[in-house]
Amino acid sequence: MSHKIFIIVLWISCLYSSSILSKDFDSTHELPKVREPDKHRIYFRRNEGYGGINFPVMDYLRYENFNSILVQGYDTNTAIRAFAKNDGYNAISVQHELEYRYMDKFRVFYETRSLVNLKAGKNDQRNLQFKEDYVSLGVAYFHPLSPNFNIGFSLRQVDIEQNTKNNYLLFDLFPPLIGPRNREFSMNVRGTVPGIHIEIKPLRWFEIHIGKQFYNLSGNDTRSTIDIVLVNDRNTNLLFGYFDFSKGLVSYTGEKTTLDFVFRFSSWFATRWGYTIERYNVKYKKYLLYVDDDIPSTMVYSALESSQKQRMEFGSMNITFEFSKSFDE
């Protein structure tokens, strides 16, 4: 908890320092209060974020234990895992953006983001490794209602790929067994994402940007588990293998809300300090889970999993470094 407080204090301190520095820089130049739009301008941005995350596999593993109790009956170890309280994960993101603007109204942009989780703690037994790759290509139109206020609408073609690995060692004393378990969860969704945005420019060197995007994507989801277990039975070592595979269609719906404070140090350099909240629901459709030649269990598990929703949530503090160049005729 202390490291989170430290990061928040550091973020606020840097935000305050940016306002002072950008204001001081602007005061040394006799410039108009409102920045005039360029005919052509290109922007490059690098965004880094840090915050708490809940990714879909975390919910899936929790539901998995409840499903096992429903299908196979009560088991003490399964019940302990089902009701155990685990620490949440934090994550870091790195995003790059390339944008072209014409008269600051018409905009075309390309965005890529990589998002990965950090280890929850020394006692975390889940050993989950999550990674998301995000790519979007979009256009936007911003209409100036006044020199200090813009309202905009955007449309993105988005492709999201999520991959989670869960590799660990199986071990038990009764009966004595040991062996690796390798699990992999993959999801790929795509679609069109509309958005609405507001830009407030009270000062030449300071702006406030607010945006909301609406996601309704669809795609595919696959999961696989491979166990290789060595069992000792009456001084005889027996090697067993287990495999299950599931695949289906998935929907990915939700919203992304952004708030940024922009400090312009010059015509070509600015920083953004902001906060982003992403909340999505993952719903499975037409799902088939293959469970090691067990047809009845396959049908029951498939029905249970197709009825359950999972969450993808990420709330992050962000800093963005922005470089731009105008090409006025």
pLDDT 10s digits, 284-328: 876 665 555 555 656 666 666 666 688 999 999 999 999 999 987
Enumerate residues 6+ apart whose C-beta is below 8 A from 223. 183, 184, 185, 186, 245, 246, 247
Dihedrals φ, ψ of 196, to 5°? Answer: -130, 140
| Cβ neighbours, 10 Å, residue 318 | 20
Tens digit of each residue's pLDDT (9 = 90 or more) over 183-202: 899 999 999 999 999 999 99
Please name the CATH architecture into which domain 2-326 falls.
Beta Barrel (2.40)
Determine the pLDDT at residue 290.
55
Half-sphere exposure of 141 (CA within 13 A, CB side): 1
Half-sphere exposure of 4 (CA within 13 A, CB side): 8
The crossing angle, in degrees rounded to 10, of helices 56-72 and 76-83 is 150
Determine the pLDDT at residue 279.
97
Give 108's pLDDT tier (boundaries 50, 70, 90): very high
Cβ atoms of 53 and 59 closer than 8 Å: no
Determine the pLDDT at residue 3.
54
Tens digit of each residue's pLDDT (9 = 90 or more) over 74-96: 665 555 565 566 777 999 999 99
Tens digit of each residue's pLDDT (9 = 90 or more) over 211-255: 999 999 999 999 888 887 777 766 767 667 777 778 888 999 999
Determine the pLDDT at residue 248.
83
Determine the pLDDT at residue 30.
46
Q: Which residue has the higher pLDDT, 101 or 166?
A: 101
Tens digit of each residue's pLDDT (9 = 90 or more) over 28-76: 344 556 678 889 999 999 999 999 999 999 888 887 766 666 666 666 5
Q: Which residue has the higher pLDDT, 206 or 328?
A: 206
